[in-house]
Amino acid sequence: MYAAGNGPAAFLLRNILFTTAFSLRKILVRDTAFSYYDRRLQGGPASEVFKVIAKEGFPFILGAAAVLLILVVLPGFILVVLAALVLVLFIWFFRDPERNIPSDPHAAVSAADGRVVEVCETELNGVKYKKVGVFMNIFSVHVNRAPFTGTVKSVEHINGKFVNAAKKEASIINERNIVTFDTEAGPLVVVQVAGLVARRTVCSAEAGDLLSTGERFGMIKFSSRVDHYFPMSFEIKAKEDDRVRAGETVIAVYGKDGEKGEDLV
């Protein structure tokens, strides 16, 4: 193996492997404490297995780890370094940290990490909504969470294009999943939009599922966009260019006692 010996290459490789291991440790404990698997994502009762990586990332991570182990034994020092970097990238991309979900039952949180790129009033299927669009770059956490407590009414997949998800037109021309919730405030819609790099939207929720605010329901692989369509009774708190965190950042508040929400900021 390359780690053996005392030559310059062996010394450099030992340092790279040590740095990689140290980086992985920081990633796995970075955002917050470990948590148990969600019942929905686990497909059964919560177990005592620590969850810090989204399950959708395991094929990528294990594949990169297998390639790394092969290259450590076989010739190709530069390839070993590249494989180590790819492994770290996959683990970083598919991280799934816990979030501090607001206790206020009237608060709606962002469904995605990223930057707010659109805040407006619009219509969807003939119904007027307040829209908040969040763009995720490749370095964002890509696990999506329910913005508000409600029952999943439907999940619809729409085929489409793969233009830059930061553009407004991506909401209506790109491939996407449309998840509609029945909430106490009325229909609330979350749209997972595929992007230029992201070609795979994943929704684990099904019609009839009851999701609490901040509960995981899917992810988008390798950067994209999530659009929130809130009923008009919500007051929008988010502004364009705000940085938000899924399940944690309050982007809208439901008008208490059914009163109409205030105007957009």
Number of CB atoms found within 10 A of residue 68's CB: 21
Catalytic choice (171, 223, 224, 233): 224
Cα–Cα nearest to 150, from 191, 118, 190, 121: 190
- Name the DSSP letter for residue 196: S
Number of CB atoms found within 10 A of residue 230's CB: 27
Are the CB atoms for 244 and 116 separated by under 8 Å? yes
Number of CB atoms found within 10 A of residue 242's CB: 18
Task: Mark whether 140 is an active-site residue.
Answer: no
Identify the residue whose tokens are 């708190």: 237
Catalytic residue positions, numbered: 224
